[in-house]
């Protein structure tokens, strides 16, 4: 890839690696806190599900909580549309700042909302509305963050810098688990169920306000400055329709990637508790250690993609997830120790890292700058809403029907669809970054 030169009338000084790293860090920390706020819900659902839904068996309450988790995802396409247009027309920094402000508001509401026993149906209704609000925020975060990190990075290190989107995404989940582990040490199960689950939501709200201040000091992407200041059509759906193949590629990539990611980072926690029979505290530690390994893998895989290309890593993920999901879950279902469960989870996360480390930069490379945030975000948001957000619900539903093993084949089929995109649609594709001058 060659360096992009400024358009006539723009004299933009080149940034040093230190300045690039500073902007990437500020953007990434915002990504971290947004995903912390989002994952706190999944991590603490085992404690607060009874607070918002009528008493019943644990599976029924978790199913209701998973339903609300899925509902939040359905706002993400709207968030991708609104924030993507905002980012393509008014700047990446503006959209990223607005998204983290929305997320902070949502976390504060959940931390303070009364329980079902106190205000009845108003409690789950407020929870649903708040998750819709947070889904709007997160829907805008992904495409805009991917765009900002890819445009801010130096050309020969785009894979490395863009990998920090998932470094911070996973770190957000890891931080949620760390808070869970600490609170499990400080409080009993009864205390966590009664009030302790509110603490992480309060932490998320405060953290988002700190990140809001950091994002206000970020520099704007040069490519936005060069290309979009005087383009009225930037970020419009009509402009996006000029890139149907790119949209299809994003959908197919995201389908297998999002299902596998949420399966092995979110649902696996509930699988270990409900199906394997491991203690909640042990499962939290297993997830924490395995996700820490995954964080370390992201920049390594990203840097590798700068050397050998993006496509080989994506094919590695597609093959591994297609052929390995059913055997892995079968083995995990018969695991008798925490070490066995940890080892199997790490294997799964190594495979998934072939996708997570570079998917954002691959999608950003598909579109020119004037439609990049919307082009990445909208098809991604639609696909995640339909398939990523429903992973827990589908898995628990099949479990309730005593056909849990069908879920494993469902994940494999989704990975196969993504593999077809890597093998046939990405072959010979030329990055849009090389054509922007």
Q: Model confidence at 58, in pLDDT bands (50, 70, 90)?
A: low
Average pLDDT over residues 363-376: 91
DSSP, res 56: -
What is the C-alpha to C-alpha distance for residues 293 and 279, in angstroms, rounded to an integer? Answer: 22
Average pLDDT over residues 245-254: 96
Q: Model confidence at 5, in pLDDT bands (50, 70, 90)?
A: very low
CA angle 202, 289, 25 (to 5 degrees): 60
Contact 254, 380 (CB under 8 A): yes
CATH topology of domain 17-219+242-428: Growth Hormone; Chain: A; (1.20.1250)
Percentage of the chain modeled with pLDDT above 90: 37
Structure-model confidence comparison of residues 316 and 265, the more confident one: 316
DSSP, res 228: S
CA angle 199, 266, 150 (to 5 degrees): 95
Long-range contacts of 430-435, Cβ-Cβ distance < 8 Å, separation of 24 or more: 431/1, 431/365, 432/365, 432/366, 432/367, 432/368, 432/372, 433/1, 433/4, 433/150, 433/155, 433/158, 433/364, 433/365, 434/1, 434/2, 435/368
Contact 370, 227 (CB under 8 A): yes
Q: Position of tokens 């993006």?
A: 310
Nearest to 317 by CA among 259, 389, 366: 259
Rg (CA), the chain: 21
Residue 385, both tokens = 């809403």
Residue 244, both tokens = 């149907």
pLDDT digits (tens, 9 = 90+) for 117-163: 888 878 888 888 888 888 888 888 888 888 888 888 777 888 998 89
């Amino acid at each position: 890839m060659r360096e992009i030169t400024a358009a006539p009338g723009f004299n933009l000084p080149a940034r040093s690696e230190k300045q690039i790293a500073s902007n990437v860090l500020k953007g990434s920390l915002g990504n971290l806190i947004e995903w912390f706020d989002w994952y706190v819900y999944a991590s603490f659902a085992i404690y607060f599900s009874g607070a918002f839904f009528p008493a019943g068996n644990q599976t029924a309450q978790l199913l209701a909580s998973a339903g609300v988790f899925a509902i939040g995802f359905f706002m993400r396409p709207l968030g991708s549309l609104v924030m993507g247009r905002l980012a393509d027309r008014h700047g990446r920094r503006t959209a990223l700042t607005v998204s983290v402000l929305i997320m902070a508001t949502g976390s504060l509401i959940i931390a303070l909302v009364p329980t079902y026993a106190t205000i009845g149906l108003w409690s789950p209704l407020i929870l649903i509305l708040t998750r819709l609000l947070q889904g709007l925020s997160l829907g805008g975060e992904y495409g805009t963050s991917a765009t900002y990190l890819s445009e801010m990075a130096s050309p020969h290190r785009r894979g490395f810098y863009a990998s920090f989107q998932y470094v911070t995404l996973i770190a957000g989940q890891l931080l949620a688990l760390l808070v869970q582990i600490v609170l499990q040490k400080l409080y009993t199960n009864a205390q966590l169920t009664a009030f302790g689950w509110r603490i992480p939501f309060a932490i998320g709200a405060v953290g988002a306000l700190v990140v809001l201040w950091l994002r206000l000091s970020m520099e704007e992407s040069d490519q936005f400055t060069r290309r979009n200041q005087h383009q009225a059509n930037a970020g419009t759906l009509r402009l996006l329709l000029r890139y149907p193949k790119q949209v299809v590629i994003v959908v197919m990539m995201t389908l297998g990637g999002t299902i596998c990611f949420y399966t092995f980072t979110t649902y696996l926690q509930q699988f270990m508790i409900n199906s394997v029979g491991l203690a909640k505290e042990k499962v939290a530690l297993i997830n924490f250690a395995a996700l820490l390994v995954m964080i370390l893998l992201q920049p390594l895989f990203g840097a590798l993609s700068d050397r050998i290309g993006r496509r080989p890593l994506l094919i590695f993920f597609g093959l591994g997830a297609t052929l390995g999901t059913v055997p892995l879950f079968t083995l995990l279902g018969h695991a008798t120790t925490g070490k066995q469960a940890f080892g199997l989870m790490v294997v799964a996360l190594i495979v998934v890292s072939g996708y997570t480390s570079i998917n954002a930069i691959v999608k950003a490379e598909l579109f020119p700058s004037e439609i990049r945030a919307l082009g990445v975000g909208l098809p991604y948001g639609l696909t995640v809403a339909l398939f990523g957000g429903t992973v827990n619900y589908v898995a628990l539903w099949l479990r309730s029907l005593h056909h849990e093993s069908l879920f494993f084949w469902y994940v494999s089929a989704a990975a196969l669809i993504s593999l077809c995109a890597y093998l046939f649609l990405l072959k010979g594709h030329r990055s849009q970054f090389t054509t922007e001058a």
